[in-house]
A and B are shown apart, each in its own frame.
Chain A
Amino acid sequence: MDIFGIPIQAFLGQLLLGLVNGSFYAMLSLGLAVIFGLLGIVNFAHGALYMIGAYVAWLSLEKFGLNYWFALLLAPLVVGAMGVVIERTLLKRLYKLDPLYGLLLTFGLALIAEGIFRDQFGVSGQQYPVPDALAGATNLGFMVLPNYRAWVVFASLTVCLGTWFLIERTRLGAYLRAGTENPTLVQAFGVNVPVMVMLTYAVGAGLAALAGVLAAPVIQITPLMGSNLIIVVFAVVVIGGMGSILGSILTGLALGLIEGLTKVFYPEASSIVVFVIMAIVLMIRPAGLFGKEK
């Protein structure tokens, strides 16, 4: 049986791969959406934080012999701590200014981080082995799926849904959302809003780092890995609607699938299909698919 001239097995395989890529998009755009939604900062340093997460994993394995599972915990903590420093020393001065300033600042930070890592490690990149427990592949009949990729989908969906639940369905999330709507009032109720905002940025940074660790075994760890991905992720956030958490998760997965299919039918367009969709969405719904018109 064929779908548009492609055997159904191959078709299913490509859909599954699209889902794997979509999981990365979802996780990264989720962090961006959280930061934008709650801080109003367009965090261009997100790709760099993702890259640093992967490097933390690699360095902790090479220098200290700490395995993948430790790295999954360690990298978000280290990068989250960096997020705290960035927010306390730089970003907090910008909240009252035009979002453009935050964009420029974080873009500059990303370039600096990339430059430092390029100088230290070169661009050919480092290898990170797939952890033993997840090595090997499963034959699904229509394709051979490496176990690690299946884990990536599982881990990323868990994290995405967990974050969504935390922000949209818990008391803490309610404080967070309220704090961004009307900080003075929430402060009056005895909630420490500045600390909450700082931790939000740290969590966003930590999510990027976690995605970096998840990506480390499947791609070459290079200083450029963030910038190769970040533009697409931004497009995902724009399509989903800036600041919409559920929107960024669903759009991330959907665009991964669409991109995967483009790679089958017209590979040359696979690097631009996301942007074409972005243009169309912006024309029809300027606030994004899940965004609220203001």
Chain B
Amino acid sequence: MKLKKLSAACTLAVAAMFGASPAHAQFSGDVIRIGFITDMSGLYSDLDGPAGAEAMKMAIADLGGAVNGKKIELLVADHQNKADVAAGKAREWMDQQGLDLLIGGTNSGANLAMAKVAAEKKKPFIVVGAASSALTNEQCSPYTIHYAYDTVALAKGTGNAVVKAGGKSWFFLTADYAFGAALQNDTATVVKAAGGTVVGSVKHPLSASDFSSFLLQAQSSKAQILGLANAGGDTINAIKAANEFGVTKTMKLAGLLVFINDIHSLGLKTTQGMYLTDSWYWNQNAETRAWSRKFFEKFKRMPSSLQAGDYSATLQYLSAVKAVGSDDADKVLAQLHKTKINDVFAKGGFIRADGRMVHDMYLMQVKTPAQSTEPWDYYNVVETIKGEAAWTTKAETKCALWK
């Protein structure tokens, strides 16, 4: 009898605690605090970096700087492409600043490290800039959302297109860290499935200053296709050296992760005809153009897909916060997982159980200088890879959350 009373009292107490507190604590710290950790100064900083943070501010401004009367704050940090710096900053913000959402920028190594911290602290973590598919596969977490693109989508897009066009034998030039390995691996799988072969590969250090030696090795492999499993400045320097050494005469280049900033930097003369896969292109339709011109006014360059993704991720998170009237991690995540995403970045997008934001990807071909009608008009969209077809399938996944 006594025991029954005691347990009843406990139940009441628990109920009171849970029931009463939200009335004055819907928003932790009375502010919605978003943290953004990316490469702000290194080789990937043009793709995302300061302009990515600015895109987030555009999203915050579009909502009037506040949700339900609560101010929105954006913290920004540079991880310098170091996983330990990224994880340390994420931990500090979550422990001491009452961070509500962490957005991860470029660099897969840094993002895999931050994902572990977010899972431990039970805070939502939206990855926009990093590519490794491990974020929603082997290392998936209920708190990680992978937003813009991943190595599987890049591989399926470009890999398939190139093999279909006759590029059967491949040699990979791969950045020597988590992302490069994932991209090479995912692309090799697609190439083999499509009937192609992988002849060899060579790994280069991140921000290598000279690619000529690696390219010579690629050339002597006699493969038809040189797959560039790297990004940013590394891709640019590799393409440049490939032209200089005449590698492009005997092999075709397949840039597996090429952003519009890279094309802009290299110029259409060097890159024309190249296939690439991206999650977004500014010159797709009236809506993307209008948003991009607003962005252009601030930066004098067009947004990359990552910067559009930064905008969209911030906007969607804040909309979910608004819908549930709280910045509580689990409530907001549940809302995000059940809401269709329709904005300038994606149409009909949705977040899968493994954390993958499923949306259309685009296979593009770089225009010739004659086809380009204005600065930054660089791509023809060759194929729209619809929804689920672009991503890891249920049969392939190793994520326990999606079994």
Residues of A at the B interface (CB closer than 8 Å) are 7, 9-10, 13-14, 17-18, 20-21, 118, 122-127, 130, 137, 143-144, 146, 148-149, 218-220, 222, 224-225, 228-229, 260, 263-264, 267-268, 270-271
B45, B216, B233: the one within 8 Å of A14 (CB): B216
C-alpha spacing A10/B214, complex, angstroms: 11
Interface residue ranges of B251-289 to A (CB < 8 Å): 261-262, 264-267
> How far in angstroms is the closest Cβ of chain A from B281?
17
C-alpha spacing A137/B241, complex, angstroms: 12
Q: Judging by beta carbons under 8 Å apart, are B261 and A124 in contact?
A: yes
Question: Which of these binds chain A: B65-73, B202-210, B361-369?
Answer: B202-210
C-alpha spacing A7/B220, complex, angstroms: 9
Q: Which residues of B contact A149 (CB under 8 A)?
A: 212, 244
Q: Judging by beta carbons under 8 Å apart, are B42 and A263 in contact?
A: no
> How far in angstroms is the closest Cβ of chain B from A143?
6
Q: Which residues of A contact B49 (CB under 8 A)?
A: 123
Q: Judging by beta carbons under 8 Å apart, are B237 and A219 in contact?
A: yes
C-alpha spacing A260/B267, complex, angstroms: 29
Cβ-based interface call for B236 (8 A): yes
C-alpha spacing A137/B216, complex, angstroms: 14
Q: Judging by beta carbons under 8 Å apart, are B41 and A123 in contact?
A: yes
A9, A218, A270: the one within 8 Å of B241 (CB): A218
Q: Which residues of A contact B301 (CB under 8 A)?
A: 122
C-alpha spacing A20/B240, complex, angstroms: 16
Q: Judging by beta carbons under 8 Å apart, are B240 and A137 in contact?
A: no
Q: Judging by beta carbons under 8 Å apart, are B244 and A126 in contact?
A: no
Q: A126-B265, A137-B245, A144-B246 in contact; A10/B216 too (CB < 8 A)?
A: yes
Interface residue ranges of B182-229 to A (CB < 8 Å): 202-205, 207-210, 212-214, 216-217, 220
Q: A13-B216, A144-B246, A271-B205 in contact; A220/B267 too (CB < 8 A)?
A: no
Q: A220-B236, A271-B208 in contact; A127/B216 too (CB < 8 A)?
A: no
Q: Judging by beta carbons under 8 Å apart, are A143 and B216 in contact?
A: yes
C-alpha spacing A268/B209, complex, angstroms: 14
Q: Which residue, of A17, A219, A220, A264, has the highest number of chain B Cβ atoms within 10 A? A: A220
Q: Judging by beta carbons under 8 Å apart, are B233 and A123 in contact?
A: yes
> How far in angstroms is the closest Cβ of chain A from B172?
12
> Which partner residue on chain B sits nearest A232 by CB separation?
B209
Q: Judging by beta carbons under 8 Å apart, are A125 and B216 in contact?
A: no
Q: Which residues of B contact A9 (CB under 8 A)?
A: 220
Q: Judging by beta carbons under 8 Å apart, are A267 and B216 in contact?
A: no
Q: Judging by beta carbons under 8 Å apart, are A124 and B240 in contact?
A: no
C-alpha spacing A20/B246, complex, angstroms: 17
Interface residue ranges of B375-402 to A (CB < 8 Å): none
Q: A124-B264, A127-B267, A218-B244 in contact; A268/B203 too (CB < 8 A)?
A: yes
Q: Judging by beta carbons under 8 Å apart, are B233 and A264 in contact?
A: no
> Which partner residue on chain B sits nearest A10 by CB separation?
B220
Cβ-based interface call for B43 (8 A): yes
C-alpha spacing A124/B231, complex, angstroms: 11
A17, A125, A220: the one within 8 Å of B213 (CB): A17
> Which partner residue on chain A sits nearest B211 by CB separation?
A219
B41, B203, B241, B265: the one within 8 Å of A125 (CB): B265
Q: Judging by beta carbons under 8 Å apart, are A229 and B209 in contact?
A: yes
Cβ-based interface call for B176 (8 A): yes
Q: Across chains A and B, which 6 residue pairs bring their CB atoms closest together, nearest first? A: A271-B205, A263-B213, A124-B265, A124-B46, A124-B261, A122-B46
26 A–B contact pairs at CB < 8 A?
A: A14-B213, A17-B210, A17-B216, A20-B212, A122-B301, A124-B236, A124-B265, A125-B265, A126-B265, A127-B265, A127-B267, A130-B244, A137-B244, A144-B245, A219-B209, A219-B240, A220-B236, A220-B237, A220-B240, A222-B233, A224-B207, A228-B207, A263-B217, A268-B205, A270-B204, A271-B208
Q: A220-B236, A229-B209, A267-B203 in contact; A123/B43 too (CB < 8 A)?
A: yes
> Which partner residue on chain A sits nearest B202 by CB separation?
A267
Q: Which residues of A contact B236 (CB under 8 A)?
A: 124-125, 220
C-alpha spacing A220/B207, complex, angstroms: 11
Q: Judging by beta carbons under 8 Å apart, are B45 and A123 in contact?
A: yes
Q: Judging by beta carbons under 8 Å apart, are A224 and B246 in contact?
A: no
C-alpha spacing A220/B46, complex, angstroms: 14
> How far in angstroms is the closest Cβ of chain B from A228?
5
Q: Which residues of A contact B210 (CB under 8 A)?
A: 17, 21, 219
> How far in angstroms is the closest Cβ of chain B from A47?
11
C-alpha spacing A148/B244, complex, angstroms: 9
Q: A124-B264, A125-B265, A220-B265 in contact; A270/B205 too (CB < 8 A)?
A: yes
B42, B203, B217, B264: the one within 8 Å of A224 (CB): B42
C-alpha spacing A146/B42, complex, angstroms: 29
C-alpha spacing A218/B241, complex, angstroms: 7
> Which partner residue on chain A sits nearest B300 by CB separation?
A122
> How far in angstroms is the closest Cβ of chain A from B199?
15
Q: Judging by beta carbons under 8 Å apart, are A137 and B233 in contact?
A: no
> How far in angstroms is the closest Cβ of chain B from A240?
19
> How far in angstroms is the closest Cβ of chain B from A257?
11
Beyond the given A124-B265, A220-B265, please list 20 additional residue pairs across the A-B interface where CB-CB is below 8 A.
A10-B216, A10-B217, A118-B41, A122-B45, A122-B261, A123-B232, A125-B236, A127-B240, A130-B244, A143-B216, A144-B246, A219-B237, A220-B233, A220-B236, A220-B240, A222-B233, A224-B42, A268-B176, A268-B203, A270-B204
> How far in angstroms is the closest Cβ of chain A from B267?
6
Q: Which residues of B contact A17 (CB under 8 A)?
A: 210, 212-213, 216
Q: Judging by beta carbons under 8 Å apart, are B46 and A123 in contact?
A: yes
Q: Judging by beta carbons under 8 Å apart, are B204 and A267 in contact?
A: yes
C-alpha spacing A220/B241, complex, angstroms: 10
Q: Which residues of B contact A124 (CB under 8 A)?
A: 46, 232-233, 236, 261-262, 264-265
C-alpha spacing A270/B205, complex, angstroms: 8
C-alpha spacing A148/B240, complex, angstroms: 13
> How far in angstroms is the closest Cβ of chain A from B13?
57
Interface string of B233-249 (1 = CB under 8 A from A): 10011001100111000
Q: Judging by beta carbons under 8 Å apart, are A146 and B46 in contact?
A: no
Q: A10-B217, A219-B237, A224-B233 in contact; A127/B45 too (CB < 8 A)?
A: no
Interface string of B37-70 (1 = CB under 8 A from A): 0000111011001000000000000000000000
